[in-house]
Amino acid sequence: MRYAKSIRKECLFMIGAFMLSGIITGQAAFDCLLKAKALSEDGKNSQAISILSSALESSSEGRLFAERANAELNLGNYKEAISDYTNASRLDILSGEYGLARVFALMGDAVNSTAHLEKNMKSAFRKSEKEIMLDPAFVKIENKPEWRTFWKTDWYTGSDKGIAEIEYFISDGKTNDALSALSEFEKNYQGSAAVEYAEALVNISAGKYPDAVKTLTSLSESDPLNEKYLRVLAKAQESIGNPAGASVTYSKLIEMEIPDAGLFVQRAECYMKTGETEKASADISRYLGIYPDSKNALSLAGRMESAAGNNLEAITYFNKNLVLHPNDPDCYIDRANSYLLSKSWDYAAQDYSMSLDLAPGNPDTWLKKGIALVNSGKTEDACHDFRQALSLGSKRATEYISRYCIK
């Protein structure tokens, strides 16, 4: 697997090609959206705006306007952001209202901010109370009368509140409290999809993954485009050791063009477990085209190449990760493991040593360093490392101590 091409170049190339025929495909627009989102997250808002502007010349989509508005807002360009959010709302009904509420809040205009927030509450794009309350954009208006008046309206149903309470308990590790809340929730909403979803969340929290998968599969069949159901289902499928099922679920999310490039990495990890290496490689290449400096993606790409016996390619990925993250012990371990597989014992030992300098409490690293040393003829040093691994809890170290260190 080679380094993925720059998605920015691909976006501009695809846009140029399709502009010749007057159209741009949804797939090309989606790729540009993902790249622009990544650039904005990296603080490169002007580059994101450039990509999105090029895409919008040929494809007038609400999601492209909304993402460009986000980048404009990051730059403090309120007028341009308002224009783009307004266009987004026109094309995808009310999709830009939350963005408009944020812009006016940042401008200190509580009247217009709450007016747009009310429209968001009545739309398919409604935000949760938690998300709104934690959004720093509203800090300037939270003490204004319009803001207090807005929250006097009960915007959320009892079902919404019940789910939110259960999610809170689960996120706080309070499974018993979540069970109690679920019991009360069931009394008022028995037989509803909301109760089934809540039961699935509690089952996952309690480690009852098969029950959760059964419930979530049924829910997603009834509501196949429900992102929330699919995301939780995929995680539950992974937890029961069903990467094939999880990859199918991640594929559904990707086909829905959810603007989350991380889905490609999650699907790639599933493909690796099912032995579908070409598919995994394609997903990682696509992700690295969007986030070329991602530590996790570079690590996964390198490990894939190493497992396939392509150690030179693997080392290239691991080297880049170490340039980007020179103080990360895991990056040294990745490269050391590749050297170990290729029987480059001295190089492996050096990298394991570097990792241990940064994180000396890792028993597996001490063990593997010992294995590298014993294979390079340094038995005495290896025995020191095996004993260190044993003292840190490595059961495998006993085998190596018996074989090499007891005379």
Return all residues near 61 (Cβ < 8 A) that are at least 6 apart: 29, 55, 91
Q: For residue 347, tell me if it sits in a domain.
A: yes
Q: For residue 130, tell me if it sits in a domain.
A: yes
pLDDT at position 26 is 62
For residue range 133-144, what is the model confidence (pLDDT) as tens digits? 999 999 999 999
For residue range 368-407, what is the model confidence (pLDDT) as tens digits? 999 999 999 999 999 999 999 999 999 999 999 999 998 7
Alpha helices in 274-328 (DSSP H): 277-290, 295-307, 311-324
For residue range 214-249, what is the model confidence (pLDDT) as tens digits? 999 999 999 999 999 999 999 999 999 999 999 999
Q: For residue 231, tell me if it sits in a domain.
A: no
What is the number of structural domains in the chain?
2
Q: Which of 98, 126, 150 is the last residue of a domain?
A: 150
For residue range 341-351, what is the model confidence (pLDDT) as tens digits? 999 999 999 99
CA distance 235 to 5: 30
For residue range 356-369, what is the model confidence (pLDDT) as tens digits? 999 999 999 999 99
Is the distance from CB of 142 to CB of 158 less than 8 angstroms?
Answer: no
CA distance 14 to 51: 11
Nearest to 125 by CA among 74, 196, 63: 63
User: Hunting for tokens 């699919």 — which residue is that?
Assistant: 230
Nearest to 110 by CA among 148, 63, 59: 148
Q: Which of 150, 184, 219 is the last residue of a domain?
A: 150
Q: What residue type is 243 in one-letter code?
A: P
Nearest to 293 by CA among 332, 322, 257: 322
CATH number at residue 51: 1.25.40.10
Length of the chain counted residue by residue: 407
Other C-beta atoms closer than 10 Å to the C-beta of 323 total 10
Percent of the chain with pLDDT over 70: 94
Q: Which of 99, 134, 150 is the last residue of a domain?
A: 150
For residue range 249-296, what is the model confidence (pLDDT) as tens digits? 999 999 999 999 999 999 999 999 999 999 999 999 999 999 999 999
Q: For residue 360, tell me if it sits in a domain.
A: yes
Nearest to 306 by CA among 326, 279, 281, 274: 281
Q: For residue 204, tell me if it sits in a domain.
A: no
Range of the domain at 358: 306-407
pLDDT at position 10 is 54
CA atoms within 13 A on the CB side of 159: 9
Q: For residue 281, tell me if it sits in a domain.
A: no
Q: For residue 121, tell me if it sits in a domain.
A: yes
pTM of full prediction above 0.85: yes
DSSP-derived secondary structure letter, 127:
P
Using CB atoms within 10 A of its CB, is residue 270 exposed (0-12), middle (13-18) or buried (19+)? buried
Using CB atoms within 10 A of its CB, is residue 139 exposed (0-12), middle (13-18) or buried (19+)? exposed
Largest interatomic CA distance in the chain: 83
Query: Which helix (H) or strand (E) is 96 found in, with range?
Result: none
Mean of pLDDT values over 199-227: 97
Q: For residue 329, tell me if it sits in a domain.
A: yes
